[in-house]
Amino acid sequence: MKKSRLKEKITLDPIMALLILIVITIVISGFLNLLGVQVTYNTIANDVTLEYTEGLATVESLFSLSGLKYIFTTTVANFVSFTPLSSLIIILIGIGVMEKSGFLKTAVTLLTKRVKKKTVTFFIVLICLLSSMMGNLPYVVMIPLSALIFSYGRRNPYIGIIASYAALTAGTGISIFFTSSDSELLRSTLLGAHMINPGYTLGTMSFISIMIVAFALVAVAITVITENYIAPRLPKYEFPETEMEEEFTITNRELKGLVLAIFAGLLYLLFFIYCIIPGLPLSGALLDYSQEFYIDKLFSASSFFSNGFVFVVTMFFVIVGLFYGIGAKTIKNNKDLCDDLGHSLDGIGKTLVLIFFASTFISIFKKTNLGEVITAFLANFLTTNSLGSMPLIILLFIISMICTIVLPNSGFKWAILAGIAVPTLMDAGISPEFTQVVFRFGESVTMGLTPMMAYYVIYLAYLEKYNQNKKPINLFKTLKYQLPYSITVGVILIALIIVWAIIGLPIGINGVVNL
């Protein structure tokens, strides 16, 4: 009895845990700054001459008057500009219409009624992995939708939340499509390669073969772990009695609504797709033509498509939900529509508070430069010893895993690592493209284990939302759910890297392992 009471006392609410992390970060930054901790690392001084220079990473102290000023003057602005906040609120408007009108329930019931549970899980995992090409938007779309899909299937929504987050984070570095993130990394990889061979070139399909294999293996692994390990260990989810009274049946009215919704949704999508196809009359209006690759034309910082994508998706959700409601007569007037728009925003007060503290923690951690210092420190390990090609590959994989926990941003992290990793591995006979693959696979392993990742708070908030226990869900438990996925994905990817390196198969079109 005493043990259980003690356990209850030490269970920290996520908000309090984030507050403690904020305080610890501030104190550590002050201590390390006092010690004068700084790390030098090789980087490129000039993109044209490709000359080496020494980059310097130092810890900035927030345990000072200027640090306190920074915290007090930027916290509100950081919260307001925190991308997951605005994206989630806008997306929830569209999801609310789809959910309240009945579109989601009808569509999910129709698609999954005669499908095995494992198959539903596999397709959700597959969609999450595929959606990695769209950047971070899938976190605010797939996590809420996965929870609803499992709920409609009379299964614990936790299963959908945990599995979708595991797939989304694993998909960070495993994509069968060339993404805007890949494009950014490719530039750093080429700059590193040009230090050794100024004429080295890489194509957008240089990684496709190994990525397809990794994609398939990880999709199956996440599904198996979810169904055989995670789901059986979750507590039973109690659905409201009103939902359990009778089985949902689809009538002609629901079918009419579904047909209208599909028709309206297709028209909207066709118009939208036309706007992102270059070269046709009046088409391509949403692209950024200053970029070289098509994926960058879509997702660059200046692209109309990228900047408005959240709103575009929300409007699609609103349109299909509205037309379904009109056909099924669940939306009869403007009041019904307006009520539906706010449906998913009901009761998100705790979510907003979580996002506030998460945005503050991430902002403070970034300001201290702790992630940059740790990454630079670990990068130098690649050059401290004369290691062979295989030990270097494994070491880079481990370094990528560790660095991702403190510095989730792929582009920034690789900008620090590439100037050391790419030339070092080239000297050992490993190609730059395979070096980038090792880095990408490494960050896929631990992306789901770090609260520094901005969209972790969406995962946390939805576990909190569907939590039926009296105890609050804590940070340790949310990350513990992801640990089996991380371990399994890590074993699969490092094994794939080693086997591929030993056999020496091409990793893609004109992509090789050994120089």
Each residue of 32-78: pLDDT tens digit? 999 999 998 877 655 555 566 777 889 999 998 999 999 999 999 99
Number of Cα atoms under 13 Å in the Cβ half of residue 244: 7
Mean per-residue pLDDT, 200-215: 90
Is 257 a domain residue?
A: yes
Query: Could you report the per-residue pLDDT of 107-150, keeping only the tens digit for each?
Result: 888 888 788 889 999 999 999 999 887 888 899 999 999 999 99
Residue 173 sits in which domain range? 2-503
Q: Which pLDDT value is given to residue 45?
A: 58
Q: Tell me the percentage of the chain whose pLDDT exceeds 70.
A: 94
> Residue 292 falls within a domain, yes or no?
yes
Closest CA to 425 of 386, 392, 385: 392
Does the structure show a pLDDT above 80 at 351?
A: yes
Q: Report yes or no on 514 lying in a domain.
A: no
301: Cβ–Cβ under 8 A, 6 or more apart, which residues? Answer: 307
For residue 247, the tally of other CB atoms under 10 A from its CB is 8
Rounded Cα distance between 403 and 415, Å, is 12
In a domain, 513, yes or no: no
For residue 49, the model assigns a pLDDT of 56
Q: 371 lies in a domain?
A: yes
8 Å CB contact between 46 and 365: no
State how far the Cα of 172 lies from the Cα of 344, in Å rounded to an integer. Answer: 27
Task: Provide mean pLDDT across the span 192-220.
Answer: 90
Say how many C-beta atoms besides its own lie within 10 A of residue 162's C-beta.
Answer: 29
* Element holding 56 (H helix, E strand): strand 52-58
* 2 pLDDT higher than 70: no
Dihedrals φ, ψ of 453, to 5°? -75, 125
In whole angstroms, what is the distance from residue 404 CA to residue 471 CA?
30
Total domains in the fold of the chain: 1
Give the single-character DSSP code of 234. Answer: S
* Predicted pLDDT of residue 470: 67
**Three-state DSSP class for 513?**
coil
CA 398 from chain center: how many Å?
20
Instruction: State the pLDDT at residue 44.
Output: 65
For the residues of 342-371, what is the DSSP string, one character each?
Answer: TGGGTT-HHHHHHHHHHHHHHHHHHHHTHH
Enter the tokens of residue 306. 């990228």
Whether the Cβ atoms of residue 359 and residue 82 lie closer than 8 Å to each other: yes
pTM: 0.92
The mean of the pLDDT values for the chain is 87
Q: Specify the DSSP class assigned to residue 230.
A: I
Q: How far is CA 115 from the centre of its chain?
A: 28
Residue 6, pLDDT > 50, answer no
Rounded to an integer, what distance in angstroms lies between the CA atom of residue 36 and that of residue 18?
Answer: 27
In a domain, 510, yes or no: no
User: What Å distances lie between residue 210 and 129, 130, 189, 430, 439, CA to CA?
Assistant: 15, 15, 18, 15, 13
